[in-house]
Amino acid sequence: MVKAKFGVRYLNKSLNTQLMSIIEIINDTISRVKSLPINCALAAISGGVDSTTAAVLVRRAIGDRLRAVFIDTGFMRTNEPDQVKSLLSNVLPIEIVDARDYFYRELIGISDAEEKRVRFREVFYTVLSRLAREFSCDWLVQGTIAPDWIETKGGIKTQHNVLEQLGINTVERYGFKLIEPLRELYKDQVREVARQLGIPSEIINRQPFPGPGLSIRAVGRLTLEKLDVVRRATEIVERRLADLSLSQYFAAAWEYEFEDGRDLPRSLDGLSVSVFRVRATGVKGDSRAYGHVALVKGNLANWEDVYGIYEALTASYDVTHVIYGLVERPRGNYFVSIRAISTEDFMTADVPRIPPDRLMALAREIMGNDERVAAVGYDVTPKPPSTIEYE
Ligand code: XMP
Ligand 1 pocket check for 157: Cβ under 6 Å: yes
Ligand 1: distance of its center to the CA of 216 in Å? Answer: 10
Q: What is the predicted pLDDT for the residue at 166?
A: 86
Q: Measuring CA to CA, which residue among 219, 265, 224, 217 is closest to residue 238?
A: 217
Could you give the count of Cα atoms lying within 13 Å of 8 in the half-sphere of its Cβ? 15
| CA dihedral for 182, 183, 189, 191, sign (positive or negative) | positive
Cβ(282) to ligand 1 under 6 A? no
pLDDT tens string 46-90: 999 999 999 999 999 999 999 999 999 999 999 999 999 999 999
C-beta separation of 390 from 281 below 8 A: yes
Cα 275 to averaged position of ligand 1 atoms, centre (Å):
24
Closest C-alpha to 321, from 374, 373, 391, 267: 391
Q: What is the pTM of this model?
A: 0.91
Question: In this predicted structure, what is the pLDDT of residue 349?
Answer: 97
Query: Which H or E run contains 268?
Result: strand 267-268
DSSP 109-164: T---HHHHHHHHHHHHHHHHHHHHHHHT--EEE----HHHHHHHHTTS---TT--G
pLDDT tens digit string along 171-222?
Answer: 999 999 999 999 989 898 999 999 999 999 999 999 999 999 999 999 999 9
Q: How far is residue 342's CA from residue 330's CA, in Å, rounded to a whole number?
A: 33
The answer to whether 310 and 322 are in contact (CB under 8 A) is yes
Q: C-alpha angle 383/252/160, rounded to 5°? A: 70
Cis before 208? omega within 30: no
Q: Is 339 helix (H, G, I), strand (E, B) or coil?
A: strand
Decide whether any atom of ligand 1 lies within 6 Å of the 151 Cβ.
yes
- The pick from 120, 148, 153 for probing ligand 1's pocket by mutation, whose C-beta has the most ligand atoms within 8 angstroms, reads 148
Q: Which atom of ligand 1 is nearest to the CA of 211?
A: 13
The CA–CA distances, whole Å, from 212 to 70, 73, 123, 230, 366 equal: 13, 8, 11, 14, 23
Residue 288: strand, helix, or coil: strand
- Please name the residue whose Cα sits nearest to atom 22 of ligand 1: 210
Q: Does ligand 1 have an atom closer than 6 angstroms to the CB of 159?
A: yes
Nearest atom, ligand 1, residue 151 CA: 3
Q: Tell me, what's the pLDDT at 240?
A: 98
Q: Which atom of ligand 1 lies closest to the CA of 208?
A: 24
pLDDT by 10s per residue, the chain, length 391: 222 222 333 333 333 435 558 999 999 999 999 999 999 999 999 999 999 999 999 999 999 999 999 999 999 999 999 999 999 999 999 999 999 999 999 999 999 999 999 999 999 999 999 999 999 999 999 999 998 998 888 888 888 889 988 899 999 999 999 999 999 898 989 999 999 999 999 999 999 999 999 999 999 999 999 999 999 999 999 999 999 999 999 999 999 999 998 889 999 999 999 999 999 999 998 899 999 999 999 999 999 999 999 999 999 999 999 999 999 999 999 999 999 999 988 889 999 999 999 999 999 999 999 999 999 999 999 999 999 999 9
As a whole number of angstroms, the distance between CA 329 and CA 351 comes to 26
Number of other CB atoms surrounding residue 304 within 10 Å: 9
Are 340 and 321 contacting, i.e. CB atoms less than 8 angstroms apart? no
